[in-house]
Structure 1
Amino acid sequence: MKVNFLSITTLGIGFILCPNLVKAQEEISTTEGLDTEPQNAFTLSAQLRPRLEYRNGAYRPLQEGEAPAILTNNRLRLNFDYKHSDRLHLYVSLQNVNVWGQAPQIQAVDRTGGMSVFEAYAAFPLANTLNAKIGRQVIALDDDRIFGSLDWHPAGRSHDAVNLNWMPSEQWTLRSFFAYNQSGNATALLNVNTPSGQHFTPGAGQDYQHLEALHAHYSISEAQQLSFLFANLGYRTDNSADQNMQTFGAYYTGKSNPLSYSASAYMQTGKNASGAKKSAFLLAANVGYRVTPSFGLTAGVDYLSGNASDDTSGKDKAFNPFSGTNHKFYGFMDYYYVGFTPNVGLLNPYLTANVRTGEKSNLSATYHFFAPAAKFKTDKKHNSLGSEIDLVYNLKLQSFIGLQVGYSTYFANDGAKALKNTPNARSYQDWFWCSLNINPEIFSAKF
């Protein structure tokens, strides 16, 4: 039924648009020669992104006796984009995410979950320098460290929120976000007729019950950018007491050929979802140097605070990058902050080399060294969590088709095995993937 809904939706939009297109053509023909601009624009685009993965130790070290996973995940999106001059922007993105083989060859029953809504929002002006965006939307700020689109994941990440944007000058942009979530668990889903209560089940698809965030961006110059973030996350389990965690800090980026550089600093206070006092911080910096037009190096370090194994203060000192695209920062094998937040925090110095291998291709190689940010002791003290090497090759096959191939290996030591609770880990852990990203624009019209 959900796939039929997509067909009906697409057909319905076609029926709606066709008369308008005919009418628009008639109006254009009757006003030929006059200096008139089309008021409406519509674009239909799609994305098909299959990705083959060989997981011989991704997410955690595989233990002796465990077989590697081999699978192909897939994302399909259909994007409907309508604009009426500068008065209204309506955007709907439908998606289907599955693993090859989940749907039977004769698909009498849809076992993949069918279509879902990735984004569905309306944006419109409220005043000359103030506009609003309301609905399901991606929140991606700065370098995706705290709020990111999570595009690597087949499903991505989007929020049900209200976004107000104010641009008082050419240098300043102020963005605010507000959200209030109601979510049930798998056996008690909410409906529009729920009569009472503030229902929220942590982990049932939502990390917070309510969100209030303010992001201020200041353009110092074309090459120097500075932004500030304040975000409050409210946690609640059904009708229990509200717990609030605040995250605030700044992000700076600049470039001066052949150098590029950036720095981030964030703190977290308030209380976590369990009610413990929060006192955590994140520091990150990197410097890039373009050696030649086709070769560059980037060195950086991330420090996310954590809880020492012998800490009895009762405070939560582990920084939580709650809505960040963590795959981008802490190793592509996703040992940290992707479904697993290390209680001891993380120290992550890294070095990346980028090589342009052709007009439409490039190769990158990154080395990560991992260590606990706080004291980590089991039967012995662990000063290291091992290291990782990530290789990624990009090739643009056509204007709307890209190929990516990646290979990573993790050198797990006793510290990594203890932290990930895999004492009998195999000696070699690696991960291979190959992905096609197909993004055609199917139809576009102005009328």
Structure 2
Amino acid sequence: MRTLQLSKLKLALAAAFLGVTVSQSVFAQSVTEALTTGKAYGDFNLRYESVEQDNTAKDASALTLRTRLGYTSGSVNGFSATIEMEDSRIVMGQGDFTVGPAGYNSGLYSVIADPETTELDQGFIQYKNEKLTAKLGRQVITMDGHRFVGHVGWRQDRQTFDAMSVAYAPVKDLSIKYAYVTQRNRIFAQAADIDSKDHLVNVSYDTSVGKLVGYSYLLEMDNDTENALDTIGLSFTGSAKAGETKILYAVEYAKQSNESATTDYDVDYVKLEAGAVFSGITTKLGYEVLGSDDGLYGFSTPLATLHKFNGWSDQFLSTPAQGLVDTYISLAGKLAGGGWAIAYHGFQADETSLDVDDLGNELNASYVKKFGKNYVAGIKYATYSAGDINVDADKVWVWLGAKF
């Protein structure tokens, strides 16, 4: 009997060992398959930029090449990994520009924010199923069309975040996003990155007449000081048909508070936008207010893709203390297989004074065309006429991009 029991035990142990071995073998095979069936990709952008401003700095020009190379593995039980390197280089010695935060040619030329750098752009592990996507590591995060959280992809060294992020869709039409950010990897190379303790929450619901979004962005730099910047808001965007015309509409309101050892203020954000699409032309009329607290502090959006808003000449990357009111009109359409756009901005202070009221105006124009599946070329122009602050500025961009 004892011999029989020992034999059964040996058989059980052998079966268990064989099961573990087979399981390990299958897992190893799955990992190998995921690594060998992944996707490698490349993204290249060659761009010329010139800046002329009526200030003491010399006019700036830059010819830079941004190279982005990445690899995303296949999936194993919902898990995958992505690694992506980014490099920005001055081409043919055309580097007459200043990037202050990166320490490049400080104070000599007007600013073109494309420093030379080589760095890890993204590196994260992802888990994904039908309703949930979770990422851990360095990653791109965008919310609200980049107005409050964006990747600043217009610049050669785009913005990414060291973060844990979750996107969850529990039911149809409902989306919940959350991210905890420990480092903001900004557009000025590694030396200007910022340690942080940011909480980003965004909840959206699609209705039959538009999308309703509620958000809470609680920002704090991790530098042993009190510097909380909290923004809570609500937006609604949608469209409707009126015969052959498509009507566009958007409304948004946010409240922002700042608490630090030296400041304590509350400011408002308001956006109203109406538009129409007819005969292939999209036109929009908008009114955006980044408010001011008694002319001392202006509404701030430090994680935004700022180039997308308030004029392409980037005069208001930091909101003036008097706040900013941007009244704008834009037109966009198709021509010769490409897309064109024109916009006009009129700027005023939210809190006016005897010295500051008119903040100038700006005209923008662009044309972008794709060639085949992988190539794109574009030209863009911005001219800003100063008011009570800033100086006149003209900027031109010409670029060629390729993706594989």
Q: What is the TM-score with the length of structure 1 in the denominator?
A: 0.72
Q: Tell which structure's C-alpha radius of gyration is larger.
A: 2
The structure whose RCO (Cα within 8 Å, separation 6+) is larger is 1
5 Å matches for 1:104-253? Answer: 115-125=118-128, 129-181=131-183, 204-206=192-194, 209-221=196-208, 224-237=210-223, 240-253=224-237
Match of 1:369 in 2: 346
Q: TM-score, normalised by structure 2?
A: 0.79
Q: Distance in 1 between matches of 2:173 and 2:36?
A: 30
Mapped to 2, the partners of 1:374 and 1:269 lie a distance apart of 17
Q: Which residue of 2 aligns with 1:90?
A: 81
What residue ranges of structure 2 are gaps of 5+ in the alignment? 1-27, 96-103, 105-114
Structure 1 residue 162: deviation in Å?
Answer: 0.5
1:197 aligned partner: none
Q: Which of 30, 41, 44 does residue 40 from structure 2 map onto?
A: 44
- Determine the structure 2 residue equivalent to 1:80: 71
Q: CA deviation at 1:128?
A: 6.8
1:341 aligns with 2:322: no
Quote the residue 1:301 is aligned against: 287
SS across alignment from 2:38: strand
- In 2, the alpha carbon distance for the partners of 1:261 and 1:357 equals 25
The one-letter code matched in structure 1 to 2:232 is F
1:74 shift after superposition: 2.2
Correspondence for 1:321:
301
What is aligned with 2:108? Answer: none
Contact 1:40 1:85 in 2 (8 A): no
Secondary structure of 1:278's counterpart equals strand
Alpha-carbon distance in 2 for matches of 1:409, 1:284: 24
1:395 counterpart = 2:369:
yes
**Aligned counterparts of 1:342 and 1:368: Cα–Cα separation in 2:** 16
Is the 1:259–1:288 Cα contact (8 Å) retained in structure 2? yes
Give the number of equivalent residue pairs. 350
**Aligned residue in 2 for 1:54:** 50
Give, in whole Å, the separation in 2 of the partners of 1:132 and 1:103: 41
Cα distance in structure 1, aligned partners of 2:58 and 2:93: 20
- In the alignment, is the contact (CA less than 8 A) between 1:48 and 1:74 conserved in 2? yes
Q: Which of 239, 243, 254 is matched with 2:238 structurally?
A: 254
SS of the residue 2:292 aligns to? coil
Structure 1 residue 341 displacement after superposition: 3.2
Classify the secondary structure of the residue corresponding to 2:220: strand
Distance 1:39 1:410, change over 3 A: closer
Q: Could you tell me which residue of structure 2 aligns to residue 383 of structure 1?
A: 357
Q: Deviations over 1:165-196 (max 9, x none)?
A: 3222112121111133499xxxxx9xxxxxxx
Task: Name whichever structure is richer in strand by fraction.
Answer: 2
Q: For residues 35 and 48 of structure 2, what CA distance do their matches in structure 1 show?
A: 43
Distance 1:85 1:253 in 2: 38
Change (3 A) 1:333 1:128: closer
Q: Hey, what does 2:109 align to over in structure 1? A: none
* Change beyond 3 A, Cα 1:270–1:295: closer
Aligned residue for 1:386, secondary structure, equals strand
Amino acid at match of 1:299: L
Partners of 2:264 and 2:57 in 1: CA distance: 39
For residue 279 of structure 1, report the CA deviation from its aligned partner. 0.3
